[in-house]
Structure 1
Amino acid sequence: MARRAIAAACAAALLSGGVTACAGAGPDTALPGAAGCGMLPPRRPAAPPGGRGAARDNPVYRGGPMCLPDCDFGPGPDGGLSGATRYLGHVAHCLDVGWGRLFAAVGLRYRPPKVRIVPIRDRGRLGCGAGMVQAAGLYCPGSDEVIVSVGRDWYGPGYEPSMVLLLAHEYGHHVQRSLHIAQYAYTAGGEVERRAELQAECFGGVFLAAVRARFDQTDEWWAGFVDTESQPGDIAERHSHGDFASRRRWLGAGLRSGRPGDCRTWTAPSSEVAG
């Protein structure tokens, strides 16, 4: 199925209220040979390392930058939930293609997550298993599901980069699980968990670097965007996701280079992953 047709099917499934794996795995998500990417042919798929080594020296760090010259987000949000959902369905497809290419180029197998878009009024009912959380975005490792809640402000134009970063951050957790990083990180907690959150934010920046030209914004605008998105919430969020300086550092690192290898929060000093 052509990429545009896959993206359209994904958006339609999201709109229907079902849970779908946008842009299913297979040849389209594994192909590294997009025009202008100059990526190496894919290697034979292998399993990533486990334990601490998965976090500190993962094969995906040797890939990149993410390259998506053929990514198409389709029409922007049109003022309604359906338009925002459709838009994020296309973004999810591009995320699957981008990460699929990076995985394939270093000999790893990528499988897309399930994706669910819900209105913000349902945020309090989001959860993984029995737990319910108040969060704009969530990744559930047990069901391999990315959930994003969108508010009325996001239904119209102007919020697209923030929408894209939120979805790309939650995809970052799916990538960590696929690479066996999450299995190590979330059994440790504390600073280790914060390093995982900051890496997911950096992975979000990696995707934004690959698609930033589609937003037609200046470097100064992007610097302001990084500052805005890095503002910490309450004390609990700062502890789990990092303080302003740390978030700004890692989101900026991904956005500047587009390379997962620049998201190695695991070898950074504690001062760079502070909460």
Structure 2
Amino acid sequence: MKWRGRRGSRNIEDRRGRGGGAGAIGGVGLLAVLAIGYFLGIDVTPLLQEGGLGQTGEVELTEADMRAGEFVSVTLADTEEVWADIFRRQVGRAYDPAVLVLFKGTTSSPCGGASGATGPFYCPGDNKVYLDTGFFTTLERRMGAGGDFAAAYVVAHEIAHHVQNELGILGQANAVRQRASTAQSNAISVRIELQADCFSGIWAAHAQERFGSLERGDVAEAMNAAKQIGDDTLQRNAGRVPMPHTFTHGTSEQRQRWFAAGFESGDLNACDTFAADTL
């Protein structure tokens, strides 16, 4: 992905110097604990806090941290330009961009505590994406999804949830989930996440058209990332038999297919997972 030397976003809230370092848990041990959380679908924040994560004090930013911050800023700027254009042409109104919060260790949000254990997420309570860039390391080393465009896919997916919120989709879906059974709520969550994957594909297609930023192998990196974070793959990697009624994001095949649908069409109408008879 061609990103160096390009414009970054002004909608970055960098909290990485405000405390919340890794404390008593070493780097390798921290990655192992995070992997447990991702694979089992468990928020291991309390365990990390007991081990020292979340301590106050200054956090040292490494060269890798700074580079990751610059990368996220450029990627976020790309999403802003692309979605502003798509909203203008396909929705007929202006796009109001999200703020992306960079943190290291732990931070707070209206949707609850944020940590490396919770993974990146979008909070509709304040229209912000929360991202510990250490997740990119876990994505590559523990999940086998390396590459800068795999990381860009992660950012684009979370911004896609903001797009859903802007379109009124996310609020309606979450309102239904609150009244549904656990199994029904999970099924709705899968449709939300697959649509975000499809929107990510739309972004990738328009980013290539607008900036020429994709390089050979970039789409394959995104497709591999979608595969590695499919519910069935995560459960198998955790030594469990995949249980579809517990899925909240979709299978590897579904995530890849919906990303491809968005990339190939570039059209919001191609991403209506809620109207699809089969996913």
Please indicate the TM-score interval, normalised by the length of the shorter structure: 0.5 to 0.7
Cα offsets for 1:89-133 (capped at 9, x unmatched)? 1211111111111112232231111111223x33xx555444556
Aligned residue number for residue 150 of structure 1? 133
Aligned residue number for residue 265 of structure 1? 273
Aligned residue number for residue 41 of structure 1? none
Q: 1:237 to 1:256 in 2, by over 3 A?
A: farther
**Aligned pairs (5 A) from 1:111-150:** 111-119=96-104, 121-122=105-106, 125=107, 127-130=109-112, 134-150=117-133
Aligned residue number for residue 172 of structure 2? 184
Distance 2:220 2:214 in 1: 14
Cα offsets for 1:40-95 (capped at 9, x unmatched)? xxxxxxxxxxxxxxxxxxxxxxxxxxxxxxxxxxxxxx951111111211211111
For residue 226 of structure 1, the aligned residue among 216, 223, 227 is 223
TM-score by length of 1: 0.63
Q: Secondary structure at the match of 1:265?
A: coil
Distance 2:175 2:9 in 1: 37
Cα offsets for 1:146-184 (capped at 9, x unmatched)? 111212738x9x621111111111111111111110111
Shift, 1:264, TM fit: 1.2
Identical aligned residues as a percent = 25
Aligned residue number for residue 160 of structure 1? 148
Aligned residue number for residue 75 of structure 2? 91
Residue segments in structure 2 that go unaligned for 5+ positions in a row: 1-5, 18-61, 141-145, 178-184, 236-242
Q: 1:261 to 1:144 in 2, by over 3 A?
A: same
Contact 1:226-1:248 within 8 A present in 2 as well: yes
Distance 2:175 2:137 in 1: 36
Q: Does 1:170 align with 2:155?
A: no
Aligned residue number for residue 255 of structure 2? 247
Distance 1:240 1:98 in 2: 27
Q: CA RMSD in A?
A: 3.3
Shift, 1:215, TM fit: 3.2
Distance 2:64 2:220 in 1: 29
Distance 2:8 2:219 in 1: 29
Q: Secondary structure at the match of 2:175?
A: coil
Q: 1:228 to 1:8 in 2, by over 3 A?
A: closer
Q: Secondary structure at the match of 1:148?
A: strand
Q: 1:215 to 1:8 in 2, by over 3 A?
A: closer
Q: Secondary structure at the match of 2:248?
A: helix
Count residues with an aligned counterpart: 201
TM-score by length of 2: 0.62
Distance 2:102 2:114 in 1: 16
Amino acid at match of 1:226: M
Cα offsets for 1:183-229 (capped at 9, x unmatched)? 111122322222111101111111112234423215xx634641442
Residue segments in structure 1 that go unaligned for 5+ positions in a row: 1-5, 19-77
Distance 1:94 1:237 in 2: 36
Aligned residue number for residue 214 of structure 1? 213
